[in-house]
Structure 1
Amino acid sequence: MSPVAANMEALQFSLANKSLKYTKIPVPRIRDPKNVLVRVSYAGICGTDLHIIQGHFPCNPDQPLILGHEFSGTITEVGAEVTDFEIGDKVSVDPNIGCKKCTFCHEGNPHFCKNKGTNTTIGIFRDGGWAEYVTCPETQVHKLPESITLEQAALCEPLSCLAHGWDLAGPIKVGKNILITGAGIIGIFWACALHLHGHRRVTVSEPKQSRLNSLKKLDLGFDLITPDELKERQERDPEYLFDFVIECSGFPPAIEHGISLLNQGGKLVIFGVAPPHANISISPFDIYAKELKIIGVNINPYTYPNSIGMVEAMGDRYLNYDNLGIRVYSLREYKEAIEALKKGTIAKAIFKL
């Protein structure tokens, strides 16, 4: 079955002149028999997308590219060799693809794959979800349970990255003191995931009071403070320490401060993406004496099913767009969406198609 329309709405990015434009282009055809055609319902704007548009993150340099690596939708066509999906299936798509042959892939680390890895990511190196239709390998498509809406499923990709961080940092035992630095959308997701798992001794540090006020809508009962308040508490009480610091800001001074707040045996989880050439200062003696662990988190190897389970468990209690500070836009409104993200007036923007 082919889609009725011959053309579709899309946002195309050109790396050559760093321009993003709204356009109408032909609906893509299935050329690989193991691919499916997805009618996109919701597609998120990630911080990575903003870096790509600014020319600060690598993407396909050879041709105009449709961005968007966080999206959900409905299958409208299947390739001749597709066996596990049918027309009408509601799905979310994992954009990250390994070669499935190299040592890293065989060891369960496709995000380290040097043959493909991020060089074939849907929405970064091949056309993604900022369009009405997109073709995807069936290996990257995940069928949704009926309990998950397509609106919620648009959040599966960032939550799959969180699930990877959760696995690397674990076990995160209930009762531990936890600090989240940065209350952007990822920091908010971490707060929700921790609350879902029963954690209550959680502090969130964020310089923007508007973000802290927004976080109050979720009624998590966590301690919401600014970095200045965090420093004041540390100065008043040298034992004001944390077992886990979940770093979601990507701001090097915040990372350094987080290290100083780690208790013996503490773990620093670096989730936020810092500038590539940034540096931090850390005492090797402290790492030795306290047996500190510093954990980097890079995308989502084999954790997409976990994210679907997480979305199902979170439901509207945690994933209500209004409470999360997520605003929905049409593709035509892309300039307004990007501007709102840059100003920080919203936590996240999602296109509804």
Structure 2
Amino acid sequence: MGDYAALQLDTRLRRLYPTRLPIMTRCPPGEVIVRVAYAGICHTDLAILQGDFQIDCDRLVLGHEISGIVSGVGKEVNWLRIGDKVAVNPNSKCERCAVCLHEEMGAPAEASVGVERDGGWAEFCLVPQSQLHLLPSDVPLKQGLGYEMIDHNELCNKTFDLAIDCTGDAMIQQEAAHALGFGGHLLIFRSNSVKDRLCLSPFNIFTNEIKVTGSLINPYAFGKALTWASVLGHRYLDFNKLGVVSYPLKEYQEALETAKSDDAAKVVFEFDVSDVPTP
């Protein structure tokens, strides 16, 4: 039996340390062993490291933004095979509440990968089959979305129909709301602190019919996103266009420092999977 590299969090000390874990030789019936190719560093991971999130276990492998290659399947998994390229939706759904049954945004998560069970800051990750998505054959594991960059000051002279904020910065969210035209919609995907507050004009919201929507989790959008990735991939999807910086797992300290700074739009851990054949 061999072992594999992992970056584990001591949840009591809030300290990360590199370790080696035993290779999984048996896969539970409804689960899949994924050999990780890329695992992002999310601000949620940084918040966990800072102690802003309560973790109910002593040790945890973080990382919930994962793509990789199937290296083992449980006996109940009949739609994936070893070598398939997959993306991981870290959030499961309960399938019992009204939100899940109506496939609405905000479906509650159960046992999130990288938060409530070991995640992708490791060479291998065990994932329930319900949280895996088979990547289209023409979508490589290393991709992101391209977009047009404009200077912050240019926002003052433009109006927009839709503003999507993933920064979590309250001041940016506030300015985005003020830049919306009639019928505009502000979608907030994250918040940096429970203490943050927005200063919005009720008169502007009323007269311009502005909508502000928060979105915590939407497990039903994952498949649609993969379709768009397949359509846009050859022309727009590239790490360099996004400002995504990759590091090997052993350079985790530098990776975390970069993630905390403004030097990169996104930081990911990159694993060598060049020796893995795909179907």
TM-score, normalised with respect to structure 1: 0.71
Count of residue pairs the alignment pairs up:
271
Is residue 152 of structure 2 the alignment partner of residue 226 of structure 1? yes
Larger RCO of the pair (alpha carbons < 8 Å, separation 6+): 2
The worse-fitting range, judged by mean Cα deviation, of 75-84 and 278-287 is 278-287
Which one of the candidate residues 159, 171, 193 is aligned to 1:275? 193
Shift of 1:331: 0.9
2:274 alignment partner in structure 1 = none
Provide the rounded CA distance (Å) in 2 between the counterparts of 1:48 and 1:139.
Answer: 22
For residues 291-302 of structure 1, the aligned pairs below 5 Å read: 291-302=209-220
Shift of 1:29: 4.8
The runs of at least 4 aligned residues of structure 1 exceeding 4 Å deviation read none
Change (3 A) 1:259 1:347: closer
2:276 alignment partner in structure 1 = none
Counterpart AA for 2:117: R
DSSP-derived class of the 1:253 partner: helix
Provide the rounded CA distance (Å) in 2 between the counterparts of 1:69 and 1:106.
Answer: 24
Change (3 A) 1:318 1:31: same
Provide the rounded CA distance (Å) in 2 between the counterparts of 1:271 and 1:342.
Answer: 18
DSSP-derived class of the 1:308 partner: helix
Give the alignment's Cα RMSD to 1 decimal: 2.2
For residues 44-59 of structure 1, the aligned pairs below 5 Å read: 44-58=40-54
Which one of the candidate residues 10, 15, 18 is aligned to 1:19? 15
Which one of the candidate residues 260, 266, 273 is aligned to 1:342? 260
Percent identity of equivalent pairs? 37
Answer whether contact 1:11 1:21 (CA < 8 A) is retained. Answer: yes
2:249 alignment partner in structure 1 = 331
Answer whether contact 1:245 1:269 (CA < 8 A) is retained. Answer: yes
Counterpart AA for 2:62: L
Counterpart AA for 2:126: T
2:115 alignment partner in structure 1 = 124
Change (3 A) 1:242 1:148: closer
Answer whether contact 1:97 1:110 (CA < 8 A) is retained. Answer: no
For residues 99-114 of structure 1, the aligned pairs below 5 Å read: 99-109=94-104, 111-113=106-108
Shift of 1:316: 4.7
Provide the rounded CA distance (Å) in 2 between the counterparts of 1:225 and 1:102.
Answer: 43
Judging by fraction of residues, say which structure has more helix: 1
Is residue 10 of structure 2 the alignment partner of residue 84 of structure 1? no
- Unpaired runs of 5+ residues, structure 2, are 272-279
- Unpaired runs of 5+ residues, structure 1, are 156-188, 193-219, 234-239
Change (3 A) 1:109 1:326: same
TM-score, normalised with respect to structure 2: 0.88
Change (3 A) 1:151 1:258: closer
Counterpart AA for 1:13: L
Change (3 A) 1:75 1:244: closer
